[in-house]
Structure 1
Amino acid sequence: MFIFVWMLMLAACATPAQRIDVTAERFGMTKRLIEGLNFRHVTYAKPQSTTTKTLHIYLDGDGSPWLRGRYIASDPTPRNPLVLGLASLDTEADVVYLGRPCYLGLHDEPMCNERLWTSARYSAAVVRSMAAAAQAMIAERGASSVSLIGYSGGGSLAMLMLAHMVSVDEVITVAANLDTDGWAKHHGYLPLNESLNPMLSHYPRHIRYRHFAGENDENVPSHQTRAFIARHGGELVLVPNFNHRCCWRDRWPDFVK
């Protein structure tokens, strides 16, 4: 009983980044730090397969940029390891989870400031560094087929990164805010005035786009995803009874095939 209580106390005292580390280790994923462009990025990867040249790169959501909707967080690292869970269920390819600049324990690094997880969370500096880190992983692993898989704000980044990448065959977004201006206005949030908006970009036609949306998602309403597809093309997968968080893990092995 004492040991159980002690473990609970340790978990309560752990930082969000430490809790993500523990979760990744439980999923059999190895942590590394890699260089992007002016930023470092935390990655978690499954052991590389010797039988596939397909790589799935997972991009997480915005995490916790605000506390109680009023105070800017000192550490924006996600409190919910949803995307790590999705990555752990993916058996279709080599799998790497790519963290954002200043996330996952890197918020105190010299180049980091709170703008990079609030108004500038999808800024050109963030997008270019993510793209550079992704390209480095693709080259290192010798991948011949690459999918970017982004959840929520990670889907926004996946689309924006395409302007700086040459090796992507597919983009899968899940509950993604693909019109960041419209999304902020819909919720009455402060505008992301230092960020790029995926709705206003242009995209290569040779890439396959699949956009998953939850029918009951109140964070990113499906009509916003429809509007993005009407302008830019791609396949809409509208999932009945799902919302922004529930229940993507339950069916992810089928969805990612």
Structure 2
Amino acid sequence: MCVTPIRSMIALAGLLMLTACGGVAARHEVRSALVANADWQSGVVQAGLFDIAASWSQVTTGETLFVYLEGDGLAYVTVYRPAQDPTPSDPVALRMAVQDIHSAGKAAQPVLYLARPCQYTLPEHGRNCSRKYWTTGRYAPEIVASLSMALDQFKQRFQARHIVLVGYSGGGALAVLLASERSDVTGIVTVVGNLDLAYWAQRDGLTPLSGSIDPADVAPKIANIAQLHLAGGRDDAVGPDVTQAYMAALPAGAKVEMLGFDQYDHHCCWARDWREISQRPEFSRIPYWSTP
């Protein structure tokens, strides 16, 4: 059945509102609607310790693979109560990915979305899932290793040579960590990324993420990789100061830039405006990124 774009938008908006009071099934429906409306495909891949939920564009081959990494999702129900399932209520990185400017046109390249381990996979594909992997160990070495193995599989599938990583929120932290372990990442874009865990935890009086790797600790390893870090002036969850703390850990001459959006917060309005944002001239610093 054909659905007009307006009706699709209304239906998706309704699903997003339902997740506020709905359960895991409602959260899965949001992803399903986004993927169906974009005419993408989805699947689950075995990658190391975990099964990774993925979605990808129609383009089956391309020299550059653009990869979107999801945020932390529903890590906690309350401040002190971890969620039983970290599947996000609103998959911002997926909503950005389906708008990627590289997935259409004569020079179209493959675009891939990777959820975090244990998102969209419980209970059927929940190998090794435990709450530490969406709380203190959300950026653990085994998380990074699993996502890197998933990247290897899709890179081979699409016959790609280069990878550009785009990470939203905690996905930004993982973009940095993945790049520090790989030799094929040519560019990193983070959106309200949590890039300096020690600074962030100390600033907000939080328990340190003891099972995680701090992106700021590996910053010198990726100084030669082009990076663009987007920050929201009204973001009270992470904030531009966390980005600045990470950038301070980079050596002089690093290929890095921060792009601030004064009126944006941690959630609004990155996905809504992504197509326009991603065509700004600052993105030309990222190799293989198309800008007008």
Using structure 1 for the length normalisation, give the TM-score: 0.89
Distance in 2 of aligned mates of 1:40 and 1:223: 34
Match of 2:238 among 205, 209, 220: 220
Match of 1:238 among 260, 264, 282: 260
Kindly indicate whether residue 179 of structure 2 is the aligned counterpart of residue 162 of structure 1.
yes
1:100 aligns to what SS in structure 2? coil
Match of 1:54 among 45, 58, 64: 64
Distance in 2 of aligned mates of 1:236 and 1:132: 29
Match of 1:197 among 214, 229, 235: 214
Q: Is the 8 A contact 2:51 2:121 kept in 1?
A: no
Q: 1:206 to 1:36 in 2, by over 3 A?
A: same
Distance in 2 of aligned mates of 1:205 and 1:217: 26
How far apart are 1:15 and its partner, in Å? 4.2
Q: Which residue of 1 aligns with 2:128?
A: 111
How far apart are 1:167 and its partner, in Å? 1.2
5+ residue gaps, structure 1: none
In terms of mean alpha carbon deviation, does 75-84 or 167-176 score higher?
Answer: 75-84
1:219-255 CA distance string (max 9 Å, x none): 1121221121122141111112111111112432233
Q: How does 1:35-184 map to 2 (within 5 A)?
A: 35-48=46-59, 52-92=62-102, 93-106=109-122, 109-184=126-201
1:23-69 CA distance string (max 9 Å, x none): 3222222111112112110101110156x422110001101111022
Q: Which amino acid aligns with 2:242?
A: Q
Q: Is the 8 A contact 1:212 1:238 kept in 2?
A: yes
Using structure 2 for the length normalisation, give the TM-score: 0.79
How far apart are 1:163 and its partner, in Å? 2.9
1:184-226 CA distance string (max 9 Å, x none): 2222322211111001113234321110111121111212211
1:72-98 CA distance string (max 9 Å, x none): 111001101221111111122421101
How far apart are 1:16 and its partner, in Å? 2.1
How far apart are 1:151 and its partner, in Å? 0.4
Q: Is the 8 A contact 2:65 2:110 kept in 1?
A: yes
Q: 1:196 to 1:229 in 2, by over 3 A?
A: same
5+ residue gaps, structure 2: 1-10, 103-108, 280-292
Kindly indicate whether residue 167 of structure 2 is the aligned counterpart of residue 187 of structure 1.
no
How far apart are 1:111 and its partner, in Å? 0.9
Kindly indicate whether residue 31 of structure 2 is the aligned counterpart of residue 20 of structure 1.
yes
How far apart are 1:168 and its partner, in Å? 0.8
Q: Which amino acid aligns with 2:80?
A: R
In terms of mean alpha carbon deviation, does 153-162 or 201-210 score higher?
Answer: 201-210
Q: Is the 8 A contact 2:199 2:245 kept in 1?
A: no
Distance in 2 of aligned mates of 1:192 and 1:184: 8
Q: Is the 8 A contact 2:50 2:127 kept in 1?
A: no
Distance in 1 of aligned mates of 2:233 and 2:174: 22
Q: Which residue of 1 aligns with 2:41?
A: 30
Distance in 2 of aligned mates of 1:99 and 1:44: 9
How far apart are 1:107 and its partner, in Å? 5.3
Q: Is the 8 A contact 1:33 1:41 kept in 2?
A: yes
Q: Is the 8 A contact 1:215 1:240 kept in 2?
A: yes
Distance in 1 of aligned mates of 2:84 and 2:204: 23
Q: Is the 8 A contact 2:170 2:194 kept in 1?
A: yes
Q: Percent same amino acid among aligned pairs?
A: 30
The CA RMSD over aligned residues, in Å, is: 2.2
Q: Which amino acid aligns with 1:242?
A: Y
